[in-house]
Structures are given as structure tokens and as C-alpha cells.
Amino acid sequence: TPAAGSIANAQLLSPYAGQQFSVSGATGTVTWTSLYPLPNDMALNATGYLGGTPSSAGTFTVGVSASDVNACPIAQNYTLVVC
């Protein structure tokens, strides 16, 4: 989660409120990875939390992938607007 589509917008050079991604039905520890480059100075951490202080404006595709101990990945794309 959240469902596909948009996530909360970010303001240029201001700390992003953050977005916690989650997945249901996973077995054991879930590993999170970003599929595409994120806005400058933003990161997706190992627990699926997207945060940071974006230093580049624009509309970005944020792709996240979650993989459990069975190496069964699930991926979803979101739109992030930084203005």
C-alpha cells in the first residue's frame, strides 16, 4: 500500500512528510528497493519508508519493489510531484 497512483506531493527544499509503503501476505522479512531514480536527496529505506528533502522539482515516477524470503517480488509505480 498505498494503492497505485499518486502519493502525497513534496515541496522543493522542504522535508517530505514521508510515505510508508507496506505489503500484505509476505513471508518473513521484506526487502524494499527503488526501481527508478528518485528526486535528488530523497531515498527509500530498507523498511519501505520514502523520505528526504527533495532538491529537484518535477514529476517523478516512484517505483517500489518488495521481496520476501521466498524471493517473490511485487512492484508498484506511483507519481510524486515536487514543486
- For residue range 39-52, list pLDDT tens digits in order: 999 999 999 999 99
The alpha-helical segments, DSSP class H, found in the chain are none
User: Tell me, what amino acid is at 48?
Assistant: G
Average pLDDT of the segment spanning 18-26: 89
Please report which residue ranges of 23-80 form alpha helices under DSSP H: none
Torsion region of 52: left, alpha or beta (phi above 0 gives left; psi -120 to 50 gives alpha) = left
Taking only the tens place, the pLDDT of each residue in 54-74 is: 999 999 999 999 999 998 888
Chain centroid, CA 18 distance in Å: 9
What is the structure's pLDDT at 24?
85
Q: Please say whether the beta carbons of 57 and 36 come within 8 A.
A: no
